[in-house]
Structure 1
Amino acid sequence: MEYVKRWNIEVSVVEEGRETHAEARLYTTEAQPPLIGAGRARCNVSDDNVPQIGDELAVARALADLSRQLARITATDIESMTREPAFVRV
């Protein structure tokens, strides 16, 4: 029998002038608080201010932060099972 788990990511983007902040929250099926990744992008004063580019970069950085956190948690879980050092690459 196949069991499907659904994990959801909610992304929030806030623009403040030439700076953009993003937050990515990962909600899993387990009853635990969400993992939260953060990202930031800042437009150089000599560049045209294109909000979409700032949004994309800040979100990419928030998702990358979330990925690193999840990999660290996975390594810790493996180490607790094997009692050996674990390194998880993503």
Structure 2
Amino acid sequence: MHTTKRWNVDVLVDGESDGDSACTRAEVGLVADDGTELHGHGMARKHPMDSDAPEIGEELAVSRALSDLSRQLRQVAAEDIGDNTGIPWRPT
């Protein structure tokens, strides 16, 4: 039996700058077909001595948000494994 599912991840990136400093925040959201909803968050700050390259802050913030989402998804999987097998599983 072959099945295909599509999970979409929404990415929202928000940045603020004030003189030589800047802060970029990212939020990623996943809604699975079973209704599970997860949100990951990430942030990046520009050091005042760094050159102005907003895309770097965006990349870092989004990667950190995706990492947070990944950690949460592993935890959900661990809980599901424990519920289905009766044996606790700890994600690594």
The alignment's TM-score, normalised by the length of structure 2, stands at 0.88
1:8-40 deviations in Å (ceiling 9; x for gaps): 0010000111000000001211234x2100000
- Residue 83 of structure 2 aligns to a residue in which SS? helix
User: What letter corresponds to residue 25 of structure 1 in structure 2?
Assistant: G
Which structure carries more strand by proportion? 2
In the alignment, residue 2 of structure 1 is paired with which amino acid?
Answer: H
Q: Does the residue aligned with 1:87 lie in a helix, a strand or coil?
A: coil
TM-score (norm 1): 0.90
Measured in 1, the distance between the counterparts of 2:87 and 2:34 equals 25
Structure 2 residue runs of 5 or longer lacking an equivalent are none
- Determine the C-alpha separation between the residues in 1 that align with 2:63 and 2:91: 20
Q: Aligned runs of 1:40-51 on 2, under 5 Å?
A: 40-51=43-54
In structure 2, the partner of 1:86 is: 89
Give the aligned CA root-mean-square deviation in angstroms: 1.2
Q: Distance in 1 between matches of 2:67 and 2:52?
A: 23
Which residue in the other structure is 1:3 paired with? 3
- Counterparts of residues 1-90 of structure 1 (less than 5 Å): 1-17=1-17, 18-32=22-36, 34-89=37-92
Aligned residues: 88
